[in-house]
Amino acid sequence: MLGMFKKLKGLFGRRPVVVPNAAGLLEGEAKTIEVGDMGSDGRQILLCRVGGKIFGLDTLCPHAEGGRLSRGPLHEGRFAVCPMHSYKFDVKTGAPQDVNCSHARTVRCEEREGNIEVFA
């Protein structure tokens, strides 16, 4: 029963994490933020700007060997890269490019009033 309550709370009771200065994230760039307590249920999110919009990916590479998607310039201005595996992921969809791997987990992000709202 407690597990069901946590799932419902996660779906309906979640408030966004507000990241100030959305203009500081330039086109084709990515930066990492931490959401929650990294010692328990926290996550690292990669915020990316592509086509003038903000997208978010969980930094954990879906290949599940400890790799993390890296911040900085995006490959070809639109792909997040796991430096451990050299895997590339479309930041809009999380789809892997040219490799047989699961999708990276996407995170809903919205740009509002000069800030980035992250729903993680």
Closest CA to 32 of 66, 71, 58, 75: 71
Please give the mean pLDDT across all residues of the chain.
87
59 — pLDDT class (breaks 50, 70, 90): very high
Q: Can you give the residue ranges of every domain in the chain? A: 17-119
Closest CA to 46 of 14, 11, 77, 74: 74
Q: pLDDT at position 120, please? A: 85
The set of residues, in sequence order, having a beta carbon less than 8 Å from that of 51 and lying 6+ positions away, is: none
40 — pLDDT class (breaks 50, 70, 90): low
Helix (H) or strand (E) holding 72: strand 72-73
pLDDT reading at 21 higher than 90: yes
CATH topology of domain 17-119: Rieske Iron-sulfur Protein (2.102.10)
Q: What percent of the chain has pLDDT over 90?
A: 68
Instruction: Determine the length of the chain.
Output: 120
The mean per-residue pLDDT over the stretch 14-18 comes to 87
1-5, 73-77, 86-90, 102-106: least confident range: 1-5
